[in-house]
A = this chain, B = another copy of it.
Amino acid sequence: METEFIQPIARPQKPSGKREQTKAQNRHTILEAARTVFADLGYGATTVRDIIRATPLASGTFYNYFKSKEEVFQAIQDESALRIRPRLREERAKARTVEEFISGTFRTFFEYVASDQSNFHAIRRNTDTLRVRMDTVEIIAGFEELREDLEAAIAKGLFPPVDADFLMAAIVGVAFELAERMLRREIVDTNAAAEFAIALFMGGVRALPNLPTLRGGDEDGAG
């Protein structure tokens, strides 16, 4: 047997040595600089060098933490996703009606977007009008959580039987596109955006099962 990996009794608490501290600090410095630069130049126009320059670190150090600007962006997006996902999940878990489900989802999302505008600036302010959306691991997981919750709600009889995959996609599409419009207006009115989306889906969900050639739940529908 080669390396045994014997734990020296136990090590549940953070080592928190100088080393770990600097590492966390550097990572944070880079992410913070990246946020600024992305917001400033837009994702497309930003180079790794721009991020490094906005930092007291050397170029080699950057690459100890991230492989590319894509990975930095991904980390930033993941952070956002991890912040909002539990809130969305909780809203949907405690929903007792369709209205609560839909309403909780959209209100939470738009309020988060409004409070985190810097991230969305980076997506929009780009050379010409290139819009960028990075579906990171955590973001995709968020989408799939939504789909699972929809499927569970359908199984419970809360929702009528519809194609959960398409419904998830529609919710995501409306959420992002309305968020975009919402931020573009002079007064950012999360309430107006949320109420619009909620009304749309409340009416839509009722109408959806009446599809003439309905074949909803073909794909993984486990009854």
Contact = CB atoms under 8 A, between A and B. Distances in A.
A58 to B, nearest CB: 25
Contact of A170 (B134, B196, B202): B196
Q: How many copies does the complex hold?
A: 2
A42 to B, nearest CB: 11
A7 interface: no
A131 B127 contact: no
Given A127-B70, A191-B213, A215-B192, A170 B200 contact: yes
Interface stretch (A11-19, A114-122, A173-181): A173-181
Contacts of A176: 173, 177
Interface residues of A, number: 55
Contact of A129 (B135, B167, B170, B173): B135
A169 B165 contact: no
A204 B213 contact: no
Interface string A122-148: 000001111111111000100000000
A22 B68 CA distance: 40
